[in-house]
Amino acid sequence: MNYVENILSHASGRKSVSAGEYIEARCDTVLMNDVTGPLAVKEFLKRGKKIKNPGSVVIVCDHFTPNKDIKSAENVKFLRDFARKQKIRFFEIGNGGVEHVILPEKGIVKPGDVVIGADSHTCTYGALGAFSTGVGSTDVAFAMLMGKIWFMVPEVMEFVYSGKKGKFITGKDLILLTIGKIGVNGANYKAMKFAGTVISALSMDERFTMCNMAIEAGGKAGFVVPDKKTADYVKGRPGRKARNFADGPSAQTFKMDISAVKPLVASPHLPDKVGPAARLNKVKIDQAVIGSCTNGRISDFAQAAKIMKGRKISAGLRCIILPGSQEVYAEAMKKGYIETFLKAGCVIAPPTCGPCLGGHMGILAGGETAISTTNRNFVGRMGAVSSRVYLASPYTAAASAVRGRIISPEQL
């Protein structure tokens, strides 16, 4: 069996499983947020009174928080009250951040876990070697009731990256490259395995970025088989011990030499419309967003600060910095990145998903254009239907904010 099959075999209590089989698997973590959580809880309350495994359930309110209006405030209060009654983990805004950033920080997800979340980017935790996938709110309700969830075991689609990574090439560029090659439906219901010498050299932050966007290729999950970097990351964090599972052959393997890859950008209105940033240097931008569950970790802000140090953002442009968590925010302050951004003319938002989904704190007006380190650029994703969003790495987004139009950081 391969790595995913071994995890699901253990979680289902079976000696073996194989791709295409339907199983019921125990959930180590069941996640919901302020958008998907209320529906999940309401469905749960129609059928039960007590969560099967309270220790597995986590609520993180991050999409419309800090509460943007009365409706969002009521939703958060509803979830907070439910969490208190059920004695489950609920992260207040001063002790949390964006869900897919804080769960690894807090040691909630470990290698070998099975994680489901009522958020499509739950695939992020595959960077830790978890089998982690997004599900619907009713699935979360079922998991709260039963402590398990059903899956069809996915095939593994392996991507092996080799070559020498260029100066400004990041995990974001690699995942954009991959999605650009296979398309937004190229990995439908597959578990995308990221491997090779390039992946071995990537930081954990960059691995989180790549796994976060597996869903943008249709992936059921994305993952990296745990190695020493994974072990170093989880060492000393609270929570249960990691589980170790063997790997085996993948159903498909794609090999990519990334030596010649230049900084990439996904153009509107799909993440697979990928090309070199340098070819878009006539595209003027009104706003830059740096952060989110995709690129809101400390190394992401180190990249952006490196570009912005001693520079100003272009006149008339807004640049919004979104630390992924309170911990990241504090570390960015300690390292001087926040001061660099403030001096450059950026605004620092609290940890939130806000502008990524066109929720608040940076909504685009009609006809406006943004470059963003987020994960989606669908029609109307960040605001008005006629707005446009280009996806890029922190290096490229920061360089473009300084110039006022899309450029490669090599051109700055």
Q: What integer is the mean pLDDT of 56-78?
A: 95
* 38, two tokens: 């209320």
The pLDDT tens digits of the residues spanning 90-103 come to: 998 888 899 999 99
pLDDT at 48: 86
Percentage above 90 pLDDT, the chain: 94
Q: What integer is the mean pLDDT of 257-273?
A: 97
The reply to whether CATH 3.20.20.190 applies to domain 264-411 is no
The pLDDT tens digits of the residues spanning 327-363 come to: 999 999 999 999 999 999 999 999 998 888 888 999 9
Q: What integer is the mean pLDDT of 387-391?
A: 98
- Could you say which architecture CATH assigns to the domain 3-255? 2-Layer Sandwich (3.30)
Q: What integer is the mean pLDDT of 31-45?
A: 96
**Residue 300, pLDDT above cutoff 90:** yes
pLDDT at 236: 86
The pLDDT tens digits of the residues spanning 160-202 come to: 999 999 999 999 999 999 999 999 999 999 999 999 999 999 9
Distance CA 387, CA 64 (A): 20
pLDDT at 241: 87
Q: What integer is the mean pLDDT of 388-395?
A: 98
Helix H, strand E, coil C: the string for 220-284 is CEEECCCCHHHHHHHCCCCCCCCCCCCCCCCCEEEEEECCCCCCEEECCCCCCCEEEHHHHCCCE
Same fold, 3-255 and 264-411: yes
Q: What is the pTM of this model?
A: 0.96
pLDDT at 406: 98
pLDDT at 209: 98
Confidence of residue 218 (pLDDT cuts 50, 70, 90): very high
Between 216 and 240, residue with greater pLDDT:
216
- Looking from the CA of 398 toward its CB, the CA atoms found within 13 Å total 27
Q: What is the mean pLDDT of the chain?
A: 96
State the Cα torsion 333-337-339-345 to the nearest 10°.
-130
Task: Locate the domains of the chain by residue range.
Answer: 3-255, 264-411
